[in-house]
Amino acid sequence: MRTPLFPSLFHRFESLPEVFEERVQFFPEREAVVSDQVRLSFRQLEEKVSRFAVYLRDNNVRQGDWAAIILPNCSEFVISFLALAKIGAVIVPVDTYFGTQELKNLFDIIPVTTCITNPAFLPIVQSILIEKPKFVNLILDQTCREGDPNTVEPGNETISTNITWPKLRPRTPFLYLYTSGTTGPPKGILLDHDRVMRISIGWRNRLPLIGDEKCYNLAPLFRSPALFSVIGAGIYYGITMIIPTEFRPEKVWDEIASERACLFHANPYHFGILAKLTQPNKRETETVRLCYATGNRLSLQTKRIFLETFGLAIESRYGTSETGGICRDGVPLSNVRIRLIDQAGKEIKTVNRTGEIIVRTPTMIKEYRNLPHCSKQTFRNGWFRTGDRGKFDASGCLRILSRIKTAVTVAGRTVYADDIERILRSHKAVREVMVIRKQNAVEVENLTAVVVLHSPADPDFMRFCTESPLLRNMPCLIEIKDELPKNWKNAQDDQLQNFPEWGKY
């Protein structure tokens, strides 16, 4: 059965490799991936994917094996992802900012036997491999030196003509998405091919596609928004995926103009930097039909600059790995139900009254992998508890206010990390701030604010911390640092003063 090109969201899809194979037939010479100097048509991408799949198969990677990809944004990420999908492996995209302990936590709870990485991440992976004898493959990309027995250049292997690839069903396990546990216990979800394709199509069904589309993407591919929006939707709709290997603010608009990209996907951090540092002309933005932000809060200031100065509206998207997309700019997506509940679990119907956001979507999962207790708490009666606080305004738009899961009980009262961040950011000496949960030796949780100042020893800020009545009511330890902990999710626009919009993936 051939997959229709534009079916409904409820269509039951075949596997991603079958969809990819059809797109190669539809658009063989259309560019599929552009990543710096690498330009691959759908036909060329398929050749490289097949060759790398052969290499993986020859190194005993089989259907059902679990394989981790630890790569930054690059063409090799796309090739590795599609090659593992072709074999029928379960793919585990890994946050490239994970430290040794976070990687150990991940590899302790999942049966990964293959890891595809590059020399930049090799030392940390090798340090874990020593303690993980279950690993059988450590595969490196083409940036390694020649002659290394572990080295492979994806896409340059000799391809066999008599290969029968496994027949993958819509419910074949495909993608494992893992949370690091910064707002709760580490947990993960396992998605099948059908669900991945339906979520991917949901990213694109609002914007009419007219053919030969191009998406310029700065969001990390190891996170679900880019996996679904860029790779999944890119393959399904035949969209050219433009994937810079690094964020170069001074070159973004020129690259968008030269490629004539119509979709621009990035994190609020990227949009915030562009709003402050660059001034595109009309030629550089004339092809862009949609900008959308995922992964964190989008400031009203950044949104206003893009609209008033650049003539571009940024769409703020909210969703979760567990549910797929939930809303755009606070408006629920088609077939998505959103409710607010109070602490007793009763529905809140009053406008501008705050409660916990719970949702039902056509693509939501039912449980976390191997975590029945956590699943029971989070998935209740067909609804998913997001752990976010929000409210509906008079126009019916959802406004997300803070994370319930960032709250701790201090001296008998509930304190929210988001509220502390807002207060600290209001001081002019603060350049960046991040509030995290910590546990002391006697397993008592507290909140710690890591603050980066414009001037390291600002006496006015220290007085503010000790004398502010707002902070006095929100007990929190203050740590002055030169930089925030290295994590892509913590990079934020330093001009943010409030967070009326928020997105979590």
10 Å Cβ neighbour count for 260?
Answer: 14
Better pLDDT: 438 or 325: 325
Measuring CA to CA, which residue among 368, 275, 277 is closest to residue 321? 368
pLDDT digits (tens, 9 = 90+) for 174-200: 999 987 544 455 689 999 999 999 888
Task: Summarize the confidence of residues 403-428 as an average pLDDT.
Answer: 70
Strand partners, 114: 67, 137
10 Å Cβ neighbour count for 344?
Answer: 5
**Does residue 503 surpass a pLDDT of 90?**
no
Q: What are the tokens at 66? A: 């679990």
Element of type H or E holding 464: helix 459-467
Measured torsion, CA atoms of residues 331, 336, 337, 340, in degrees rounded to the nearest 10: -50
Confidence of residue 90 (pLDDT cuts 50, 70, 90): very high
**Does residue 462 surpass a pLDDT of 60?**
yes
The C-alpha R_g of the chain, in whole angstroms, comes to 23
**Does residue 271 surpass a pLDDT of 50?**
yes
Element of type H or E holding 326: strand 324-328
User: Residue 126 has what pLDDT?
Assistant: 84
pLDDT digits (tens, 9 = 90+) for 165-175: 988 999 999 99
Q: What are the tokens at 173? A: 């396990």
Task: Summarize the confidence of residues 256-278 as an average pLDDT.
Answer: 90
Helix (H, G, I), strand (E, B) or coil at 342: coil
**Does residue 117 surpass a pLDDT of 60?**
yes
Between strands 240-242 and 214-217, the pairing is parallel
User: Residue 343 has what pLDDT?
Assistant: 84
User: Residue 463 has what pLDDT?
Assistant: 85
- Which architecture, in CATH terms, is 406-490? 2-Layer Sandwich (3.30)
User: Residue 427 has what pLDDT?
Assistant: 86
10 Å Cβ neighbour count for 2?
Answer: 8
Measured torsion, CA atoms of residues 114, 143, 229, 252, in degrees rounded to the nearest 10: 160
Phi, psi torsion values for 180, nearest 5 degrees: -75, -10
**Does residue 72 surpass a pLDDT of 60?**
yes
Q: What are the tokens at 224? A: 């679900």
Looking at CATH, the fold of the domain delimited by 16-28+43-208 is given as: Rossmann fold (3.40.50)
Phi, psi torsion values for 367, nearest 5 degrees: -165, 160
Task: Summarize the confidence of residues 469-494 as an average pLDDT.
Answer: 63
User: Residue 1 has what pLDDT?
Assistant: 35
User: Residue 416 has what pLDDT?
Assistant: 67
Q: How far apart are CA 200 and CA 135, in angstroms?
A: 31
**Does residue 415 surpass a pLDDT of 90?**
no
**Does residue 28 surpass a pLDDT of 60?**
yes
Better pLDDT: 269 or 172: 172
Q: Among 37-41, 202-206, 210-214, 497-501, whose mean pLDDT is lowest?
A: 497-501
User: Residue 483 has what pLDDT?
Assistant: 75
Q: How far apart are CA 333 and CA 204, in angstroms?
A: 12
Q: How far apart are CA 29 and CA 44, in angstroms?
A: 8
Single-letter residue type at 260: R
**Does residue 122 surpass a pLDDT of 60?**
yes
**Does residue 440 surpass a pLDDT of 70?**
no
pLDDT digits (tens, 9 = 90+) for 8-27: 444 556 789 999 999 999 99
Helix (H, G, I), strand (E, B) or coil at 252: helix
Sheet holding 477-480, edge to edge: 430-439, 445-453, 477-480
Q: Among 93-97, 153-157, 193-197, 231-235, whose mean pLDDT is lowest?
A: 153-157
The string of DSSP codes covering 85-117 is HHHTPEEEE--TT--HHHHHHHHHHS-EEEEEE
The sign of the CA dihedral 84, 85, 90, 92 is: positive
Q: Among 15-29, 255-269, 299-313, 463-477, whose mean pLDDT is lowest?
A: 463-477
Q: Where are the alpha helices (DSSP H) in 348-427?
A: 372-378, 417-425
User: Residue 67 has what pLDDT?
Assistant: 95
**Does residue 153 surpass a pLDDT of 70?**
no
Mean pLDDT (the chain) is 81
Burial class (CB in 10 A: 0-12, 13-18, 19+), 156: exposed
Task: Summarize the confidence of residues 449-468 as an average pLDDT.
Answer: 83
Q: How far apart are CA 179 and CA 102, in angstroms?
A: 10
User: Residue 482 has what pLDDT?
Assistant: 82
Highest mean pLDDT among 17-21, 94-98, 301-305, 406-410: 17-21
Helix (H, G, I), strand (E, B) or coil at 58: helix
What's the predicted TM-score (pTM) here? 0.80
- Residues 414 and 407: beta-carbon distance below 8 Å: yes
User: Residue 82 has what pLDDT?
Assistant: 97
Q: Among 34-48, 77-91, 185-199, whose mean pLDDT is lowest?
A: 185-199
Q: How many CA atoms lie within 13 A of 346 on its CB side?
A: 4
Give me the residue spans of the domains in the chain.
Answer: 16-28+43-208, 406-490
Q: What are the tokens at 344? A: 């007793």
Residue labelled with tokens 């956001």: 357
List of E strands, 111-172: 112-117, 137-140
